[in-house]
Amino acid sequence: MLNIFLPNDHVKTVQEITPEFLKQKGIRGVITDLDNTLVAWDQPDATPEVIEWFKQLKQAGIEVTIISNNTEDRVASFSVPLNIPFISKARKPMQTAFNRAKKTMGLPKSQIVVVGDQLLTDVFGGNRAKLYTILVVPIVQTDGFMTRFNRKIERRLLKYFKSKGKLHWEE
């Protein structure tokens, strides 16, 4: 039952998710979270590393859509300069934003991955949508109020998964 919160994979940064890695898995589309996945939640613009990551994915023919629970102003100010499609106020883990992103990409779910830093929103939502999920270590350890609450639950879930031998990485 709790396996719905278990990601398929885990990386320290999005830069570890290379076009080669994605192509080996048959992935042609990436749905990614924004805050604490691509940049710190209080950083308005993309870093040179994130810009380069987007460039590599685009050159490999991999589509990217950003979905975030944050406001349209926050997500648009990050995404528009990079010409990356986005969905704001996504209400993850609800399915609406994941389904919109899938439909916009025009790809089957077997060719889409969800990348994010939270088990309770990104991984849970991606798993419910039957997509491949990758958990990213949060960029910074500070969070807003609701995310701090979620992190307490996440720590318990990760401890449980570790005790059951379901984690294949070190925290």
d(CA 12, CA 17): 10
Question: The tokens of 119 are what?
Answer: 């088990």
Predicted local confidence at residue 46, as pLDDT: 95
H or E segment at 118? none
H or E segment at 120? none
In sequence order, which residues have a C-beta less than 8 Å from that of residue 30 and are 6 or more positions away? Answer: 17, 22, 57, 62, 63, 64, 65, 112, 113, 115
Task: Write out pLDDT tens, residues 109-162.
Answer: 999 999 999 999 999 999 999 999 999 999 887 666 567 778 788 888 988 888
d(CA 126, CA 93): 8
Tell me the residue type at 107: L
Architecture of domain 2-163: 3-Layer(aba) Sandwich (3.40)
CB burial of residue 20 (10 Å; 0-12, 13-18, 19+): exposed
Lowest mean pLDDT across 14-23, 35-44, 147-156: 147-156
pLDDT at 35 over 60: yes
- Enumerate the domain spans of the chain: 2-163
Whole-structure pTM value: 0.91
